Structure 1
């Protein structure tokens, strides 16, 4: 076995689940064990488990069959120990103090944190507190900066595209406007890519505020050309031009007061503007669940094996990232608190426009 600066490390998954998490866990732990003789410690339910000390040594037998399994065997939560920290009722410890206690109690030399923007922001803060941390980029939104791709995105893209394909047949049969809502709260990568792959006539994403009149014009142009249906792909974070003028607090308040998701509002607005029947499909958690695609299995495995090498080398405070086809490490300080939005001149934006797809502006 090769020498390593790490003997024991904790591993956790935090935030929303995504296809490929178990493949990444398997890759980190197997490589760390086979190549370096490290012991992995499973931390259950994300950062909550790190605060509560909900941990156990991970046996090699626990990794069998994980490559194709969806979800996460470690469990997950959206707990953020640095946000509005409250002392524990029994111990009186703040979350970060409890984390340090458990890190020491379990004789951990490092942590591997698998997750999206929030997870890696917390990982960065833990690094600032003196813990040895490595992050892995997981999210179906593909919105983590400094990495070309996150694992989970391609599987969600396949699911969303398949759904749009299936809805096409119903739309054509019933001469309806079909509004399909996909995930993408702050960034529209999934909506844009699935919309193009599925032949969407209109694609609405957070980066391009929409004018419902422009969308209605596209639908009516299709009707006048003898096309009796339209496919509208809407990212959950899509916003109107009026909403785009609101500050963050006002926008959040407006969305909290909205009685339904954005797809229902768009469908209602289109019915009023065109007098054509509209129907809504919200894909929701279907996009996050199930077996990861081959691409996500491979990408998660590449990230996981690289993380094991980072551990052995003591290369901490990094996110394992994909840049120009190569696996590299990016300082977590460059990731924390940031979102990778789609640039206005992105190739896929230009491709959509050249196809005649309406982007709502």
Structure 2
């Protein structure tokens, strides 16, 4: 009997539970045994592994976070440490693993695959910065969380005639900032993939004020600068009353949207399908609404790129 394990690693993302549920139930449907690894790679090392049944994943599809928990484990980069995890799997007869997470989680998955554990990666990160998929699990939910916050802040910005600077997650990728900026009607969007010209931002705000505009919304990805730093830089060029809001970890939480639940369910099941066919060393994804697979090597070879047409549209619509 084939035995498959599943773990979540890195930052949590809404929809991870739906992916776990999909892996578990698809595995059982196929006649496999399935195991949950608790606390990510740290749990793999510590032998925190438990067989899962259908009831173990009941009533979790609507929950944010991850039932299997997550933990950072930098020591997993060490071959000797990874070997402990491999031994913990093999002593149970487990030869296949589904890793749900982002770029760092995929690197651990790639190493395990090279060292004898058939491994498939499932993209779970709110940053939407994984190559080989149009969307990652959690992105849509986080995006809608930000949009809701922007809508609420805009009410106050209008009432008090102020410029609000909203800091969102995105250390190396600006997808959340860009999509939220377009959907929320932000006047300015600052992302890591594009050079930041604060003077030009100040001039745009000043031009709006000259024609009677009373407020502005600026969305800045954390990888560019903090909201406070952005306000300080703006005031070097223009006399403007700003307020800063940092959304922080609220962007990771909450019930996953229907889109994220369906995406996670499809990706989790497809991961099991690949392992059933003895295919490993790939990350699954959704491209043009079809399931796809991309080798870990190819995932890492390409740099994440922003949707330039959408970024240009954001500028055209914020005049």
Kept in 2, the 8 Å contact 1:118–1:337? The answer is no
Task: From the superposition, tell whether residues 284 and 23 of structure 1 become closer, same or farther in structure 2 (CA, over 3 Å).
Answer: same
TM-score by length of 2: 0.96
State the partner residue of 1:19.
14
- 1:95-106 equivalent positions in 2, closer than 5 A: 95-106=81-92
* Equivalent residue in structure 2 for 1:219, among 205, 221, 227: 205
Give the C-alpha shift of residue 313 in structure 1: 1.0
1:39, distance to aligned residue in structure 2 (A): 1.2
Give runs of ≥4 in structure 1 deviating > 4 Å: none
Match of 1:3 in 2: none
Give, in angstroms, the shift of residue 269 of structure 1.
1.8
Aligned length, in residue pairs: 319
Query: C-alpha distance in 2, partners of 1:77/1:200?
Result: 35
Give unpaired runs (5+ residues) of structure 2.
none
Judge conservation of contact 2:40–2:70 (CA < 8 Å) in 1.
yes
Match of 1:159 among 141, 145, 152: 145
Residues 1:297 and 2:261 aligned together: yes
Tell me, yes or no, if the aligned pair for 1:176 and 1:278 is still in contact at 8 Å.
Answer: yes
Q: Distance in 1 between matches of 2:123 and 2:209?
A: 43
- Judge which range, 271-280 or 67-76, deviates more: 271-280
Q: What is the aligned partner in structure 2 of residue 62 from structure 1?
A: 56
Q: Which residue of 2 aligns with 1:340?
A: 304
Matches within 5 A, 1:30-69: 30-34=25-29, 36-69=30-63
Query: 1:338 offset after TM fit, Å?
Result: 5.2
* Corresponding position: 1:207 with 2:193: yes
Q: Determine the C-alpha separation between the residues in 2 that align with 1:115 and 1:63.
A: 18
Partners of 2:316 and 2:160 in 1: CA distance: 28
Structure 1, unaligned runs of 5 or more: 1-5, 86-92, 240-261
RMSD: 1.5
1:158-178 CA distance string (max 9 Å, x none) = 011111111111001111110
Indicate whether 1:307 and 2:302 are aligned: no
SS of alignment partner, residue 149 of structure 1: coil
